[in-house]
Chains A and B, each alone.
Chain A
Amino acid sequence: MAPSDSLAPALSLRGLTKRVPGGRTLFEGLALDVAPGEFVAITGESGAGKSTLLNLIAGLDAAEAGDVAIGGVALAGLDDDARTRLRRDRIGFVFQAFHILPHLSLAQNVALPLVLQQARAADALAEADRLLAAVGLAERGGDHPAQLSGGELQRVAIARALIHRPALILADEPTGNLDPQTAERILEVFTAQARGSGAAVVLVTHSERAAAVADRRLVLGDLGLVAADV
């Protein structure tokens, strides 16, 4: 895989166009640069294509036109395996539905990205325990997901997204399944940990409160990606 350019944006979109089956255009000609360490929130109405945009950035979907580059590495021209390795090394994910594997312990869930990068199990699990403590789940590494609440599960997901020190974190409605109080706490944890890691963050959300923590707010709509205060 081509090495990243340290001066390049953490994420760069150029002329991105996506249509859905049936011919409707979701967005056309999107452009966006996210600097390393920058926190960007994207809001928009349901059906605007926010999650689709995240899938395109992650290389999980293909656009009809345009380019996506992660740390200067263009996804176009990479085959599926190469895109998969790029995700493994440079991107962390936080999902609305948490997606914590029920049959693994909390520590194993968090350690998974490091294990996939060929880290030794002992080292990965130790780092996982450290991150679990950082998100407020100290000494819980041996527990299983069934023993946790929704908020606790999302903390585990945040720890998993950070353990391999990704250059870019993609968060899709991370507080969407949480009650307001829990959502507030999770937002604090997520913001603190993400900023502390130095990773760039693209957060997709309906929540004004969640969007408010970002350095830059964008709205995805008929006009494409525009600043929120336009």
Chain B
Amino acid sequence: MKVSILLSSVLSLVLLASCGAPAPAGPAEPVKITIFVGFGTGGDPAQVEVHRKLAEAFNAAHPGIQVSFQTVLNADHVTKFTTMLASDTVPDIVMPVGVQGVAEFFDEWIDLTPYIQADKYDTSDFYGPAKEAHTYAGRVIGLPIGVYPQVVFYNKDLFDRSGVSYPPKKFATPGWTYDALVQMAKKLTLDKKGKNAADPEFDGKSIVQYGFGGWEGGELRGVVGKFDGNMRGFSDDYKKVIMNDAGWKAALQFMADSSLVWKITPKFSSTAAVTGTFTAGDPLGTNKVALWECYSWASYLYENWNKNFTWNVAAVPAGPHGTIIAQANDDTFAISKHSKHPKEAWEVMKWLLDPPQMAQLTKSYGAIPGRKSLADGWLSEMKASNPNVDWDVFIESNNYAEKPNAESWNPAYRQVWDEMQKAMDQVTSGGAADGAAVAEALNAKVQGYTDEYWKTAGK
């Protein structure tokens, strides 16, 4: 009996509460914006902490929008993001993402042009080539957060020991070509008796030091551009594959000759086959490689280099026809076309692109800020960290970025990417000596993927 009285009292109270006066209208629920991290850098604990603090600062200043970061492992990003697409739970923003990440999900991003125009947003402060890297047929997918231009890193100690002059730091220095680099690298490639690769008595089977680390970590289409090949690798309508022109053949031949004929480059594989080996990913760090052409994302290696040898950077050489291309990787953001709040997502991104926030982000990513106005600050910081390096070479390199970017979209993107990596593997691992034959085989394979792509595109 007591129980039934108690129950009816509770039920009456609930009923009274629900029939009471309407609650006063509170402030509108803030719009929730999620930023997906995992397409590139951004997953290290220190970077996660930077993201968290930026989110806190944004949320405190913008009561109408609440932003949060969702971080996944880089290796899982394709699977995770695809699953989100399939289940319609796509986050609003992806960041940081490179040109490759944008290309992997090419149709999933909104065009920022209307937002930029509506806000009269000033984009003149961003590096021009980096902006172009994120613009496709008039569609602006993102704006550069950070850039990673290519330079030639070199080990000064090895140069000093061999009595070889350092490479020039000024871009377009007369005579600074890949031919000159080969001659320089030969003098720096030594066998166990100390003979260099330019010496007739040099023993190519007992090399203890290499002159040139090649483009380990680089992208084939960018190298092709240096040799005046078709950098896109495709006709304008992307239906005919052009990966067998003279430039493609010359680029692949140069890589094959570097290790097999001139013996200035160790046999490397550009696939993940070597990511676990002790020398892979960091030829210069072995202290047995004199020159290495790589992007500024190698910054995570500087600490180790500083401990073991003195180093500096030089300009990227000119190709056989005088073309200078310093490849560039870029970090940007992209707003999903499935976002329910693209306007608010754009507001978040504008705030993150503001100089103070961009400086924090790029410092944590190891990138050069995408705004020209932040270059001086970056240079001061870097000079303070290592005064022996000509840091301004990185800034100048931005003017020589490739167009289109070596990671830009093409049909059957991942398959074609894999085939290009395999072609590079063949010539950098010593598996093939004939660059022209590799180029022809690559062209045929990629044409097959491309035909298949267009056969089913839009169906």
* A and B physically associate: no
